[in-house]
C-alpha cells in the first residue's frame, strides 16, 4: 500500500515538474521580441470590436475561437506583447498537462514522462506558445479531443461522448485543419471496428452533431477559398504565398516538431548529440559484451512481427493521429495547390512525441535509455539555447524606432510590398510601432506597371528631401534585385531619388534615399 502511495506521489511530482518546466520555458522572453506581422493583424482584429470579429469569421473564414478568446483577454489585460502572448502561453502549458494525462491513460508513467518532456522542451511548441496566434489553442483542443474520443469509444459513457463533441468542434473552430483530426479518428474507428463496435450508435450520433456544429465554419471556409482563388474555375485554391511542398516535406515537418528553426547552426546540435550517444553506448557495449548484445538484437528483431500483430489500439490511434493529417494535406497540396505548412499541421505533433517515446522504450531492449533519450534531450536543450538567442524574423519595433529617430517631418516613408499578398499586413506592422510624424506610404512592387498605383505612390512621396523605404525579405527572394527595381522606380520620380545608405534588421532592410543631385 505504501509502495502505491509513493508511486502516485512520485508521479504527481513528475507531472508538476514537467508542467512547471513548460511554463517557465514559454514565459521566458515572452515580450522580448516585437510582434511579427500576423500577430499585429490579430491584435488589430481583436481590438476592432464585435462587428470586425464577425466579418473576419464569416468573410475571411478566420477561426473564431481564438479571436473571441483573445478579444476578451485583451479587453482585460491590454495589448502589450506580454499581455496578449500570455494567452497562448497558458493554452500551451495546459496542452502539456492534458497531454501527460492522455499518455498516462494510454500507457504508463514512464511513457507519459518521456513523451511530455518532448512536448515541454520542443522549441516548435514553445514558439507557438509564445505566438499571439491560434496554434497553441488548437494543440490543446486536439489533444483533449483525442483523449475523450478514445475514452468514449472504449468506455461508452455519454459524458465522454459529449466532451468529445464539444472539444472536437472546438478543435475545428480553433483552426480549419482540425477537420483532418476528425478523419484520423474516423479511420482509426473503422480499423478497430470489431473491438469498439458497441460504440457505433453513440459514435454516429456524436459525429452527426459535430458535423452540424461545424457546418457554418465549413461554409465560411468554402466561400473564402472560392473568393481567394478567383472563383470556382480557378486552377488553385491555395494562397499564392504558401510554398509548394515536396515528398520530403513530412521529414522536415517531423524534425521541426522538435526543433522550430532548422538552420545550418543545428549541425552543432546533431554533432553533440551523436558524440553523447556514441560515448554512452560504447560504455554500455563494453559492460555488456558484443556477443551478448548481438544476441539481444537478434531476439528483439525477431519479435517485431509479433509486436506489430499485437499492437495496442492506442498506438494505432497515435499513428493515425500523426500520419493521416500530414498525408491528406500533402495529397491535397499536390492536387489543388500548396496548403502544406508545418504550423497548420501542429495538431499532429503530440502524436509524434508519443511514437518517439514508445520507440525509445522499445529500443531500450538493445540500446540503453540513457544513451538514446539522453542524447535526444541534450540536443533539445542545445536547440533551446539557440532558440532564445537567435534573431527573430521581424523586429518591427526596432525598425520603427530607427526610422522615427532618423527621419524628419518633411521626409517620406515607404513600406515596400513584394506583392498584393503581403499588403497591407506589412504596413500595419510598421504603423503599429511607428510614433513619428513623417508621412507613411506603401508601394506594391508587383504593381509598378500599373499607372494608377504609380501615380498614387508618386503623390504620396511628393517633393521630399529624403525618403526612407522599408523592404521585407521573408520569401528567400533576391533582395538585391528587388532593391534595384525600387531604385529604378525612384529614379523616374519628378524629383529623382537614389539610395545612399542601408540598414539591415535581420529580414528587414531600411534604405535611405536622397535627391540625385544631393546624393554624396
Please state the domain extents for the chain: 64-270+289-359, 396-515
What does each C-alpha distance from 488 to 309, 443, 467, 492, 496 come to in angstroms? 67, 13, 14, 7, 10
199-257 pLDDT, tens digit each: 999 999 999 999 999 999 888 877 776 665 555 554 556 666 788 999 999 999 999 99
Q: What are 174-196's pLDDT values in tens digits? A: 999 999 999 999 999 999 999 99
Read off the C-alpha cell for 229.
482563388
Alpha carbons within 13 A on the beta-carbon side of 105 = 19
SS (H, E, C) 463-515: CCCCEEEEEECCCCCCHHHHHHHHHHHHHCCCCCEEEEEEEEECCEEEEEEEE
Percent of the chain with pLDDT over 90: 59
On the CB side of 202, CA atoms within 13 Å amount to 21
For 218, the 3-state DSSP assignment is helix
Examine the pLDDT at 153 and tell me if it is beyond 60.
yes
The mean pLDDT value for 110-122 works out to 96
Q: Is 41 helix (H, G, I), strand (E, B) or coil?
A: helix
Distance (Å, rounded) from C-alpha 304 to C-alpha 151? 28
Mean pLDDT of 41-58: 85
Q: Which residue has the higher pLDDT, 332 or 3?
A: 332
Q: Are 358 and 314 in contact (CB under 8 A)?
A: no
Residue 112 pLDDT: 95
Residues near 53 by beta carbon (within 8 Å), at least 6 away in sequence: 45, 46, 64, 67, 68, 71
Beta bridge partners of 467: 412, 513
Orientation angle between helical segments 369-389 and 349-363, nearest 10 degrees: 150
Choice among 119-133, 436-450, 471-485 with the minimum mean pLDDT:
471-485
CB within 8 A of 75, min separation 6: which ones? none
β 467-472/412-417 pair status? parallel
Do 272 and 382 form a contact (C-beta atoms < 8 A)?
A: yes
CA dihedral 480, 484, 490, 496 (to 10 degrees): 120
Q: CA nearest 102: which of 41, 145, 135, 62?
A: 145
Query: In this structure, are residues 156 and 199 in contact, taking their beta carbons and an 8 Å threshold?
Result: yes
Exposed, middle or buried, 133 (CB in 10 Å: 0-12/13-18/19+)? buried
Mean pLDDT value across residues 153-176: 96
pLDDT over threshold 80, residue 515: yes
User: Which residues, in sequence order, are CB contacts of 242 under 8 Å at separation 6+?
Assistant: 338, 339, 340, 341
Q: DSSP per residue over 328-366, as a string? A: HHHHHHHHHS----TGGGGGGHHHHHHHHHHHHHHHTTT
- Give phi and psi for 223, each to the nearest 5: -65, -40
Confidence of residue 483 (pLDDT cuts 50, 70, 90): confident
- In the three-class reduction of DSSP (H, G, I as helix; E, B as strand; rest coil), residue 518 is classed as coil
The answer to whether residue 481 scores a pLDDT higher than 70 is yes
Query: What pLDDT does 214 receive?
Result: 92
Q: Are 256 and 382 in contact (CB under 8 A)?
A: no
Rounded CA separation 423/137 (Å)? 27
Least confident range of 98-112, 212-226, 418-432: 418-432
Cα–Cα distance for residue pair 191/184, rounded to 1 Å: 11
Q: Give phi and psi for 481, each to the nearest 5.
A: -65, -40
Distance CA 347, CA 131 (A): 16
Rounded CA gap, 98 and 194, in Å?
A: 28
Residue whose C-alpha cell is 553533440: 272
E-strand stretches of 351-464: 412-417, 440-444
Amino acid at each position: 500500500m505504501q509502495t502505491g502511495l509513493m508511486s502516485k506521489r512520485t508521479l504527481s511530482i513528475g507531472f508538476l515538474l514537467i508542467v512547471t518546466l513548460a511554463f517557465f520555458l514559454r514565459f521566458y522572453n515572452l515580450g522580448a521580441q516585437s510582434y511579427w506581422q500576423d500577430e499585429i493583424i490579430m491584435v488589430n482584429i481583436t481590438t476592432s470590436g464585435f462587428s470586425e470579429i464577425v466579418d473576419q469569421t464569416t468573410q475571411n473564414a478566420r477561426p473564431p475561437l481564438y479571436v473571441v478568446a483573445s478579444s476578451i483577454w485583451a479587453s482585460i489585460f491590454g495589448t502589450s506583447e506580454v499581455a496578449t502572448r500570455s494567452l497562448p502561453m497558458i493554452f500551451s502549458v495546459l496542452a502539456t498537462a492534458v497531454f501527460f494525462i492522455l499518455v498516462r491513460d494510454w500507457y504508463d508513467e514512464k511513457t507519459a514522462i518521456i513523451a511530455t518532456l518532448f512536448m515541454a522542451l520542443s522549441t516548435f511548441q514553445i514558439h507557438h506558445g509564445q505566438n499571439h496566434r491560434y496554434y497553441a489553442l488548437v494543440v490543446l483542443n486536439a489533444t483533449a479531443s483525442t483523449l475523450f474520443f478514445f475514452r468514449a469509444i472504449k468506455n461508452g459513457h455519454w459524458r465522454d461522448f459529449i466532451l468529445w463533441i464539444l472539444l472536437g468542434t472546438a478543435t475545428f473552430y480553433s483552426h480549419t485543419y482540425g477537420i483532418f483530426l476528425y478523419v484520423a479518428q474516423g479511420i482509426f474507428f473503422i480499423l478497430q471496428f470489431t473491438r469498439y463496435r458497441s460504440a457505433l450508435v453513440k459514435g454516429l450520433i456524436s459525429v452527426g452533431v459535430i458535423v452540424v456544429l461545424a457546418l457554418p465554419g465549413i461554409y465560411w471556409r468554402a466561400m473564402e477559398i472560392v473568393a481567394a482563388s478567383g472563383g470556382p474555375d480557378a486552377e488553385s485554391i491555395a494562397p499564392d504565398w504558401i510554398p509548394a511542398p515536396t515528398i520530403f516535406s513530412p521529414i522536415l515537418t517531423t524534425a521541426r516538431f522538435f526543433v522550430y528553426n532548422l538552420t545550418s547552426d543545428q549541425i552543432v546540435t546533431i554533432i553533440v548529440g551523436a558524440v553523447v550517444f556514441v560515448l554512452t553506448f560504447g560504455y554500455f557495449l563494453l559492460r555488456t559484451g558484443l556477443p551478448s548484445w548481438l544476441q539481444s538484437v537478434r531476439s528483439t528483431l525477431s519479435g517485431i512481427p509479433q509486436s506489430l500483430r499485437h499492437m495496442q489500439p492506442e498506438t494505432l490511434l497515435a499513428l493515425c493521429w500523426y500520419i493521416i493529417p500530414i498525408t491528406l494535406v500533402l495529397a491535397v497540396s499536390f492536387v489543388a495547390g500548396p496548403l502544406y505548412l508545418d504550423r497548420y499541421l501542429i495538431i499532429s505533433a503530440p502524436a509524434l512525441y508519443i511514437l518517439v517515446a514508445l520507440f525509445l522504450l522499445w529500443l531500450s531492449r538493445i540500446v540503453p535509455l540513457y544513451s538514446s533519450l539522453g542524447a535526444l534531450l541534450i540536443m533539445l536543450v542545445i536547440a533551446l539555447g539557440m532558440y532564445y538567442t537567435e534573431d527573430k524574423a521581424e523586429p518591427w519595433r526596432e525598425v520603427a524606432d530607427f526610422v522615427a529617430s532618423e527621419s524628419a517631418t518633411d521626409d517620406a516613408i515607404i513600406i515596400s510590398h513584394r506583392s498584393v499578398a503581403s499588403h497591407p499586413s506589412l504596413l500595419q506592422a510598421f504603423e503599429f510601432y511607428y510614433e513619428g510624424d513623417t508621412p507613411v506610404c506603401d508601394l506594391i512592387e508587383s504593381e509598378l506597371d500599373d499607372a494608377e498605383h504609380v501615380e498614387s505612390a508618386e503623390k504620396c512621396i511628393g517633393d521630399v528631401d529624403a525618403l526612407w523605404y522599408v523592404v521585407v525579405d521573408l520569401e528567400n527572394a533576391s533582395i538585391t534585385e528587388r532593391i534595384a527595381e525600387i531604385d529604378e522606380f525612384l529614379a523616374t520620380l519628378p524629383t529623382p531619388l537614389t539610395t545612399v545608405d542601408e540598414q539591415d534588421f535581420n529580414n528587414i532592410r531600411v534604405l535611405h534615399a536622397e535627391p540625385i543631385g544631393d546624393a554624396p
